[in-house]
Amino acid sequence: MRPRRPVAVDSSAVTDPTSPPGPTEPIRLRLDLAYDGTDFHGWARQKPAGGVELRTVQGSLEDALSKILRFPAKLTVAGRTDAGVHATGQVAHLDVPAAALGTRSIGDDPSTLVRRLAKLLPPDVRIHRCTRAPEGFDARFSALRRHYVYRVTTHARGALPIRARDTAHWPRNVDVAAMQDAAEVLTGLNDFAAFCRARAGATTVRDLQAFTWRDISTPEEPQLYLAEVTADAFCWSMVRSLVGACLAVGEGRRPAGFTGGLLAERSRSPLVPVAPANGLTLVAVDYPDDGELAERAEQTRGVRVLEGEEHRARGKGCPEGNPHFEGPGAEAQHTAARPAGEAAGDS
């Protein structure tokens, strides 16, 4: 018997996900997954020049998928989490040739990949579900919002040992009511440049839809606090910077109006501490109804700026649907090419 040859797919053959796949066109799969980010260098694959590839969530998953499907798997993710950040509700998609799913072991049933991946993946990564994605679905650009939680303790002992990997330790006592006040003023459509690490060609305007703090202490875990943060997308290090700014107010190191004043900044503020990565977990990603997925993806690819600051979007390819880009030069910008990867959902 001849050995089976790997199934190859030409990336140029990957068609518009808004069109139903034909008999020879790639099929888009949706993966819902979780991971403990402690021992990973973040989500995205990384290989330093001349060095060995670092251990990442994307690398571990793509390597396992490539072995099973016998073609070079490439994942697109909803939120590219930083090193040490966890996820219980991460979402990714993958385009695969139909032949890769038609093997005897898979039988055109993507759900069988859950069991097979469990055997190949390390114990700190697990797939909840693997399904055929509906038309127009894009794990990154179709997302309506991302939900994060942040667990932090201020107890002198530190985190409970069995929660030490997902609970940060802050060395000073905090006032949770003051942190809640500091969080509330940040909600809404704002420019969060002060809380974001700069990334060329990217906007820092985000719709922070919810940001709350509460005391969740128990006798076993005293002085334990939980932040819940929801936005349409997040800039690089934005969530941990939002948390860090509130903690600085809570401990009294910064005044009550500190966070609100940062919204006037248009560059990263050196006054904002970045909270430790291990307290942060991506818990859910929301998507619109199936019939609205493609439209949402098109909207998300645009670049947003605040009204009156349209000049900040020049050269960033704002689409016609951008309500905050109607100033001088808008017509030229409406026809400009969009940069790849504008909305990221980073942590």
Q: How far apart are CA 293 and CA 287, in angstroms?
A: 7
Catalytic residue among 32, 36, 82, 346: 82
Q: Choose among 237, 250, 235, 225: nearest CA to 277.
A: 237
Q: Choose among 176, 192, 84, 73: nearest CA to 127.
A: 73
Q: How far apart are CA 76 and CA 58, in angstroms?
A: 9
Q: Choose among 154, 90, 69, 124: nearest CA to 346.
A: 90
Q: Choose among 151, 187, 149, 148: nearest CA to 167.
A: 151
Q: Choose among 112, 122, 42: nearest CA to 77.
A: 42
Q: How far apart are CA 234 and CA 307, in angstroms?
A: 20
Active site residue 82: yes
Alpha carbon 194 to chain centroid, angstroms: 19
Token readout for 241 is 């910077």
Alpha carbon 215 to chain centroid, angstroms: 26
Give DSSP secondary structure letters for 87-104: EEEEEEEEEE-HHHHSST
Long-range contacts of 117-120 (CB under 8 A, 24+ apart): 117/61, 117/64, 117/65, 117/68, 120/64, 120/67, 120/68
287 is in an annotated binding site: no
Q: How far apart are CA 268 and CA 286, in angstroms?
A: 28
Q: Choose among 115, 97, 94: nearest CA to 30.
A: 94
Output the furthest CA–CA distance in the chain (Å, rounded).
75
**Binding-site residue set:** 148
**Binding-site residue set for substrate:** 148
Q: What amino acid positions are annotated as catalytic residues?
A: 82
